[in-house]
Structure 1
Amino acid sequence: MAGTSQARRLWFSLPAELARRFRPHADRLATKILDEIQHTVPEYAKPLEGQFGEVIVRAIEQAVLSCLDSIEDLQAAQDRWGKMFHEVGKRVYHDGGSLNSLQAAYRAGGQAAWRYVSGFGQSMRLPVPMLCVSAEAIFAYVDEISSYSVEGYTLAQARATGTLERRRHRLLELILATPPSSPSAVSSMARAAQWDVPEWVTVVALEPLEEQHFVPPLSEDVLLDLEGAEPCLITPVPARDIPVLESEMPNWRAAVGPRVRLTDAATSLYWARRTLELVRAGLISGGPVVHSSDHLTTLWLLQDRFLLEELSSRTLAPFASLTPKQQLRLAETLLAWLKCNGNTVDIARLLDIHPQTVRYRVSQLTELFGDRLGEPEERLTMQIALEAHHLLGTRPS
């Protein structure tokens, strides 16, 4: 491509004698171009110092000489165009310059070059067609070297973005590690990832509902992992980001963990994932975004099935002698009796049965449990066990 570019063909179409006569003006033209760029583009209106300044000055000088070389030889310096101006784009990005200003600098440089060349041509009484070709060559050349710099800039930007993403992913892993990572390790990685360390965070467990899923436009300070086996995110401002999840994530399910200090982020993730498990199991209902804080009792009751079975077998042992149907019916009545403080009318309304049926069942419960129904500690453990069975849809066998 470099050897057959439009700009190079245009330069080569001009007489070689023109290049030899113009060479003494090369340094002066380079100075004019630099002055015009600094006068026109605010970002470059400063002393060009250090490596950045060296690259810019050398690029302008090289641009002028490459044009003259191409007039005399179509294949002259064919590899230098791309490499030089590709490097300019990379250097501008790494020095914090904007792409718009870089492109504006190329336009300003092209205009300055044409003004100087046209003045030279008129003083030399060059034919108008030759001046027209010179103008076309200048602006074709500016477009070409500008495209090289844009490519270098965007490539450097992409590489930096990829590096930043990797650092942020590593930071996410450090924050959620069990046992916890040292504060110094987290702080060091946070600096490398350009992430301001907050005091409080909320962790959200995520689950894609479809293979093709849209990633919501979240804030830059959100740490996000969508590629892992258990996707999640960390937000320092849940009030800002959770509504975005609710409105912009139709193909995701999310469970929001409790708000915690950064050092407890792994705990927030644990409860968020546990909430997501119970949603999948149908034990917690809700929309696409479920908050663990709305289901603390359920999470606590269903935290350990072994302990639940142990508690149930001890507390609800009198049900063991009943048939499965009797167990379900009397367990339902006992739970209602505990919730309604023994009020027959309220129990009947809650269960949608006749008060007399309530009295009959309560009589059966009294025979089974005796004085335990009057002991506060026993009543509490009974209600805990019955609530858990009710959530699970199981019977107190």
Structure 2
Amino acid sequence: MRVHSADSGSSPAHGWPTDLPRSLMADIVGPELDSLATEVVEGVRQQVPELRFLFEGEAGERCRLGFIEFFEVLIEGAAASDPAVAGSARRQHEAFVTRAFLEGVEIDGVLAVYQAGARIVWNRLAAAGREAGVPPDQMYLLVKILLDRLEQMSATSADIYERLRGEPANLLGQHRRRLLQLLVQEVAPATDSVADLARQARWRVPERVACVAVGDGADRRGRAPIGLTPDVLTDFDRPDPFLLLPAPELPGRETMLGQSLAGATYAIGPSVCLGDAPVSLRLARRALVMVREGMLSPEAGAVRCDDHLPTLLLAGDEDCMRILTDKALAVFSDLPPERRLRLSETLLTWLSAGSSLVDVAEQLTVHPQTVRYRMRQIEALVGVDLADPARRFELLLALRFWLLSQKRTIPGW
């Protein structure tokens, strides 16, 4: 539905009655104002549920206070035969309409909000007027004021939408790229900065996100993959492209990624709160490096960091892990490569399986007697009590890291 602006030759007060008693608005609207504002906000949430996010939390309270300010101006304007909305109330209205546009709400949705609010207002004021014994002709004048204001607000909102749509075509993309850079920078941004830029980028701020690092097979021409929902922020105009996925826990999100990134290798970072987006991206990029080095194996091109957090932890500080490994496994360093590999696998499986020879034999597909023989060799080499918890933990870390690092040097291992 297209709403046309009011005639440019009309004054702001066009159509407003001038013979309305000065006290009517104050007497009828004033006592109802605070509870009426609350009822309007809650009523709009219920009657226009697809737009209730515009009225949640702090945004809902701003709308409630804006409604009160609007009617306070309206009361004063009617009493003075001057309905022009004061600067502050006008800015409140423009801010609401601009936010709706930036959130992707069509003009019809904004008008539906006005209509729902107007119905609630009229029902309350009609009841108050009857209770106060206001003559019907004066209630008619009050209705006319409300309808004129609704028409004027609708026309103003349509003008705002037209102006916003006329901005440069690439401006929205610029806002979204700036927002993405802000969200993944290592220094935490100010909450207000994120909120302001999100509004300009027409992006609804989510509670949780996951970053996705994209590697081999991706389109390197700076174009985002097709098939992604509009809430996904992307940056493919760089040598290490990535994207930020809001609400990664929603059904179908990973399927969408698989279809949009078909043919590419990519790593899905852990699902984190928005403030930890840099952590998710850092782990996703680390996983992608480990895929290239053969340390992780993707499934259908994808690696989920949530499935490999212990491995990512081991690779997080390789210098420290190399020192630990050299120290803990020094007794294995002079063994022939094949024997060292065989004994290392046996010891790691034995430590992980709770020291059960039968379980170890099943996992290694060897005879329990073979495991017993190898463990005697290991105990002779290590020369310490393998039941000691601290020693077991150190060996577990060292063995996992050493075996993981062998995947870099032994093709197909």
Shorter chain as normaliser: what TM range?
0.5 to 0.7
Query: How many angstroms apart in 2 are the aligned matches of 1:44 and 1:367?
Result: 88
Q: Does 1:222 align with 2:232?
A: yes
The Cα shift of 1:159 comes to: 5.8
Which of 243, 247, 257 aligns to 2:255? It is 243
TM alignment of 1:84-103, pairs within 5 A: none
The Cα shift of 1:294 comes to: 0.8
Query: How many angstroms apart in 2 are the aligned matches of 1:174 and 1:161?
Result: 22
2:333 aligned counterpart, secondary structure: helix
Query: How many angstroms apart in 2 are the aligned matches of 1:43 and 1:158?
Result: 16
Q: Does 1:309 align with 2:322?
A: yes
Query: How many angstroms apart in 2 are the aligned matches of 1:176 and 1:50?
Result: 50
Q: Which residue of 1 aligns with 2:170?
A: 162
Q: Which residue of 2 aligns with 1:388?
A: 401
Q: Alpha carbon RMSD of aligned pairs, Å?
A: 3.2
1:233-284 per-residue CA deviation (whole Å, 9 max, x = no partner) reads 1122222533211123213222111122212111111111111111222211
Using the size of structure 1 for normalisation, the TM-score is: 0.58
Which of 339, 342, 364 aligns to 1:351? It is 364
Q: Which runs of 4+ in 1 moved over 6 A?
A: none
Which of 198, 207, 214 aligns to 2:215? It is 207
The Cα shift of 1:189 comes to: 1.5
1:46-102 per-residue CA deviation (whole Å, 9 max, x = no partner) reads 634489xxxxxxxxxxxxxxxxxxxxxxxxxxxxxxxxxxxxxxxxxxxx999xxxx
For 2:278, give the aligned amino acid.
A
Verify the 8 A CA contact 1:219 1:241 in the aligned structure 2.
Answer: no
1:5-43 per-residue CA deviation (whole Å, 9 max, x = no partner) reads xxxxxxxxxxxxxxxxxxxxxxxxxxxxxxxxxxxxx63
Q: Does 1:336 align with 2:349?
A: yes
1:281-301 per-residue CA deviation (whole Å, 9 max, x = no partner) reads 221112223210011111112
Query: How many angstroms apart in 2 are the aligned matches of 1:161 and 1:393?
Result: 51
TM alignment of 1:355-366, pairs within 5 A: 355-366=368-379
1:96-146 per-residue CA deviation (whole Å, 9 max, x = no partner) reads 999xxxxxxxxxxxxxxxxxxxxxxxxxxxxxxxxxxxxxxxxxxxxxxxx
Alignment coverage as a number of residue pairs: 257
Which of 260, 266, 280 aligns to 2:272? It is 260
Q: Which residue of 1 aligns with 2:128?
A: none
Which of 235, 238, 241 aligns to 1:231? It is 241
1:174 aligned counterpart, secondary structure: helix
1:290 aligned counterpart, secondary structure: strand
1:228 aligned counterpart, secondary structure: coil
Verify the 8 A CA contact 1:214 1:249 in the aligned structure 2.
Answer: no
Query: How many angstroms apart in 1 are the aligned matches of 2:175 and 2:285?
Result: 24
Name stretches of at least 5 consecutive residues in structure 1 with no aligned partner.
Answer: 1-41, 52-95, 99-153
Which of 180, 187, 193 aligns to 1:185? It is 193
Q: Which residue of 2 aligns with 1:298?
A: 311
Identity %: 35
CA gap 1:368/1:204 in 2 versus in 1, 3 angstroms? same
Verify the 8 A CA contact 1:218 1:244 in the aligned structure 2.
Answer: yes
